[in-house]
Structure 1
Amino acid sequence: MSNSPGLSFANADTWRGKIFNGEWVAASGVLDVIEPASGQPLHQVGKATREDVAIAVREARAAQRLWAATPPRERAAVFHRAAALLEQHASAAAALIARETGGILPKGEHEVRESIVLLQRAAAMPLEANGRVLPSVPGRLSIARQLPLGVIGVISPFNFPLVLSLRSVAPALAVGNAVVLKPDPRTPYAGGFVIAEVLAAAGLPKGLLHVLPGGADVGQALVEAPGVPMLAFTGSTAAGRKIGELAGGHLKKVSLELGGKNSLIVLEGADLDKAVSAIAFGAWFHQGQICMATGRVLAHRSVAEALTRRLADKARHLPVGDPALAQVALGPIIDQRQLQNVVDIVGASVAAGAVIEAGGTHEGLFYAPTVLSNVKPGMRAFDEEAFGPVASVISFDTDEEAVELANRTEYGLSAGVISASVGRAMALGERLHTGLLHINDQTVADEVINPFGGIGSSGNGTSVGGPADWEQYTHWQWVTIKEAVPLHPF
């Protein structure tokens, strides 16, 4: 497949050592991006500085004013073209995304497919109604309209970087904002540069999107920048707390999509083969490096032993390895630091009495899909997000106990209930403290047109996606109109 002029989806020469401000600009420093599966350098990008953030915000503010005044159909056309371009170059983009993230190729292809939908959704937004007519006294027109905030700062993670960047970048731009994006330095292409390429080629005016790979200092500068009224952050709860505190001190709007310790409840009478398939996907897809991952499997005592046995057998037969060299189900953990976190959680839990039914081993960054039984509250495997391929099985006797165990967490992102009785599952699910609830399915699900967000330590109660996007990336302005100035009683 040949690339269009000006596009370089599989050619790093265009952006080697550079950052993006509407054009590719040489940076003062460089970041070496390592392929997790091979441990070898994959490409090199520019490393942004705090000064780059200040320049980007200044340029974005200037560009945003003209963009907000651009006719809606012209804004929509940019996203229609971008969606078509990404679809045209889907294979090249997916392959490099998979390599950079350590994912299997179907994971990279999934990111690209969902991102095409995000761009198509963004194309529709400028043509949607963005206000309401309010009741008022005779002779006065009262309306509320939603206006762009200005410059949106976006800080995105390494696990699904294209989707988790674009789900903020696309709607924020669509409603008239500019965006400064800081992708994770481990995945700058998937989290930023592919977006820059496709939107620039689609005709997005210069200065509206800036992509600045860098470390925590760049993120902090973006949060503190006076010209950025809103931050959208996806990442760990620990980092989210720091960003929320810092943004609050600057009186900024902030959207936090953080971690999760998600429970999938399996009731007696459930089809165990289907339940095991659902658990395996929810716990081990992309090595469990998903905020929605099925970390806890709450199984009714009557089926817990059989479920654990089948799940362990499934784990032992799933191939692990370099996705670029063989057809595997699991690739590598993103880096050594994240691997050590998984090792520590499993080790501490086993020392506290948990039993390894399968897995619990690794070769380099390749961690085997793992099943733990005899997991109890208070163990790290019960309480903490591993962000690795670890499924902990916990048995219960009553629905009330299942609800209590599922809610015994600081998090509140996703939950699932598998049951032969939809009514029973719904009644149980209504008692779960969670932002996402799936009846007869596992916990990893996002159609990118749905409101997505968590509560507790999984987020600050905001949602992104679909109908939530207008509320997220705009502010309300109340406007009243009268034919003439009335007399007032003063």
Structure 2
Amino acid sequence: MSMLTAEIWENQFFTGQWTKAEQTYQATEVATGEALGTFGYAQPKDIQTSAAQAKQAQAAWWALSYQERAQVFENAVQITQNHKAEIIEWLVKESGSIFMKASFEVELCIQALKNAAALPSSEQGSILPSQNGKLSLAKRVPLGVVGVISPFNFPLYLAIRAVAPALALGNAVVLKPDERTAVCSGFAIARIFELAGLPTGLLHVLPGGAEAGEALVNDTNIASIQFTGSTEVGRIIGAGAGRTLKKVSLELGGKNSLLILNDADIELAAQNIAWGVFLHSGQICMTSGKVLIHESIFEQVKNRLIEKVKQFKVGNPMDQQVNIGPLINQKQCQRVEQLVQNAIAAGAKLEVGGVANGVFFEPTVLSQVNQDNPIFQQEIFGPVAVLIPFASDEEAIELANAGDYGLSAGIITSNVSHGMQVAQSLKVGLLHINDQTVNDETLNPFGGFGASGNGTRIGGPANADEFTQWQWMTIQAQAPNYPF
């Protein structure tokens, strides 16, 4: 039986139950432009209503036993596994994911739910040293209501990696998914938890635009904001959260470097570049945005990569032979085309690709890019490999660290000690020796340095820090007899 049917959400959004919206919009399949449905489009007043309702529901949720809360997530795992094929198809149609990427994303989602199921029974604090006869406790308690603003590119996972641990640790959640992927990053999650038995009013899913996001940030019933998206928008959200003294987690953009050292295997290097650059058409914050190749093997690696790129099939990802699917919309495709043209005008050489066709952009390889070229610094969010030679480890480190971002880096080498020596000088939050830059295993603390975030992390051991707050409690058999 289908879990995701238009009858459920047509003209509606989710407030613990499916609620008819005053304003709606039509969602379309990325590759074809065909209508996928008409969804509720949240306004600021909808955000305010949901935030107040979520705050009321949260106290009763936290009062449940840890076994009751854990059971909801165990149910959610089973429901997601049972409807895996259906969710994959929505990811392909709504976000333009190829089947391989969509399947991987659903597996990440299932693992995130499994991780969340363990949180209610995890340690809730610690006993601190104190004077004899006095019990001193450091307790983790929920924040209250967590606002989550999620993006379109890995829509299911980047939403559920925040929603699931926030709920599991006793919070309520108001989720504002990107309206372009309202099902994958919103309604699918709502349905999973609805069927799993999550109490009504704890999870609200409200697709909307910038005004809805601003209302979420400004609402006094929201205790925390977890945002994944561009650095530009992240700065605005950070400033807004500061005005209301909210806790805020910003997981932002990246211009990630993949370093191919002089001792790297040519074929392995080309494979890692192709995956790190072109997976999901480059629409990933961890995409390998700068490919730094030692000059002694530069031509060999470049030529092998070009051979691979010429074999890629571009098209509708419903065709499982397709390697490169669409960008999220035609506007983004035109943006990428302009970035490539500007790079060529600044001296880059177009080796292959470079042409936009509607929502599709040919996989592209650029060489002869120096630090003065604007594309050296820009986050492209498209299928473009920027190849840059280097002469020494010191130069590679300098090129990798240049710029404001500090999210991810990868090093390909046949000598692990060589890779480790280079790695210790790279200023990034995610660092991989003998792998490319696109990696997430759900249990790792995810986040970046500099303009890639605000120093917070999400995932694994970081989730308790992100979605709870400390309370200090002392207990004594009798109140002290103070001198006045």
After TM superposition, the score normalised by the length of structure 2 is 0.99
From 465, 473, 478, give the equivalent of 1:471: 465
Distance 1:386 1:18 in 2: 34
From 108, 115, 122, give the equivalent of 2:109: 115
Query: Deviation at 1:362?
Result: 2.2
Q: Deviation digits for residues 422-454 of structure 1, max 9, x if unmatched?
A: 011011111100000000000000011111001
Query: Deviation at 1:43?
Result: 1.6
Query: Deviation at 1:400?
Result: 0.6
AA aligned opposite 1:375: V
From 394, 405, 410, give the equivalent of 1:400: 394
Q: Is 1:177 aligned to residue 194 of structure 2?
A: no
Q: Deviation digits for residues 229-288 of structure 1, max 9, x if unmatched?
A: 100000011000000011111111000000000000001121110110011011000000
Q: Is 1:422 aligned to residue 455 of structure 2?
A: no
AA aligned opposite 2:290: R
Please, what is the CA RMSD of the aligned residues?
0.9
Counterpart in the other structure of 1:459: 453
Counterpart in the other structure of 1:60: 54
Query: Deviation at 1:489?
Result: 3.6
Q: Deviation digits for residues 335-367 of structure 1, max 9, x if unmatched?
A: 122112211211111001000111111221111
Counterpart in the other structure of 2:313: 319
Q: Deviation digits for residues 88-113 of structure 1, max 9, x if unmatched?
A: 01001111121100111222211111
AA aligned opposite 2:413: S
Distance 1:395 1:327 in 2: 33
Counterpart in the other structure of 1:17: 11
Counterpart in the other structure of 1:210: 204
Q: Deviation digits for residues 47-100 of structure 1, max 9, x if unmatched?
A: 111111111011101100000111000000000001000100100111112110
From 173, 177, 181, give the equivalent of 1:187: 181
Unaligned 5+ segments in structure 1 are none
AA aligned opposite 1:255: S
Distance 2:320 2:189 in 1: 28
Distance 2:233 2:95 in 1: 20
Q: Is 1:445 aligned to residue 439 of structure 2?
A: yes
Look up the SS of the partner of 2:296 in the other structure: helix
Counterpart in the other structure of 1:165: 159
From 272, 279, 290, give the equivalent of 1:285: 279
Distance 1:451 1:423 in 2: 24
Distance 2:151 2:373 in 1: 27
Counterpart in the other structure of 2:270: 276
Distance 1:29 1:135 in 2: 56
From 133, 137, 161, give the equivalent of 1:139: 133
* Residues 99, 320 of structure 2: 8 Å contact kept: no
Query: Deviation at 1:379?
Result: 1.4
Q: Deviation digits for residues 315-340 of structure 1, max 9, x if unmatched?
A: 11111000124520010000122112
Distance 1:349 1:391 in 2: 12
* Residues 334, 356 of structure 2: 8 Å contact kept: no
AA aligned opposite 1:96: W
Counterpart in the other structure of 1:485: 479
Query: Deviation at 1:487?
Result: 2.1
AA aligned opposite 1:453: G
From 356, 363, 388, give the equivalent of 2:357: 363
Distance 1:360 1:307 in 2: 20
Query: Deviation at 1:114?
Result: 0.9
Counterpart in the other structure of 2:347: 353
AA aligned opposite 2:440: D
Counterpart in the other structure of 2:82: 88
Distance 1:281 1:220 in 2: 36
Q: Is 1:329 aligned to residue 345 of structure 2?
A: no
AA aligned opposite 1:20: F
Distance 1:488 1:390 in 2: 71
Query: Deviation at 1:486?
Result: 1.4
AA aligned opposite 1:368: E
From 246, 251, 258, give the equivalent of 1:264: 258
AA aligned opposite 2:459: G
Q: Deviation digits for residues 185-231 of structure 1, max 9, x if unmatched?
A: 10000000000001010100000000000100000000000010100
Look up the SS of the partner of 2:475 in the other structure: strand
Moved more, 340-349 or 168-177: 340-349
* Residues 98, 320 of structure 2: 8 Å contact kept: no
Counterpart in the other structure of 1:125: 119
After TM superposition, the score normalised by the length of structure 1 is 0.98
Look up the SS of the partner of 1:298 in the other structure: strand
AA aligned opposite 2:92: A
From 367, 373, 382, give the equivalent of 2:367: 373
Q: Is 1:32 aligned to residue 31 of structure 2?
A: no
AA aligned opposite 1:462: T
Moved more, 311-320 or 160-169: 311-320
Look up the SS of the partner of 1:38 in the other structure: coil
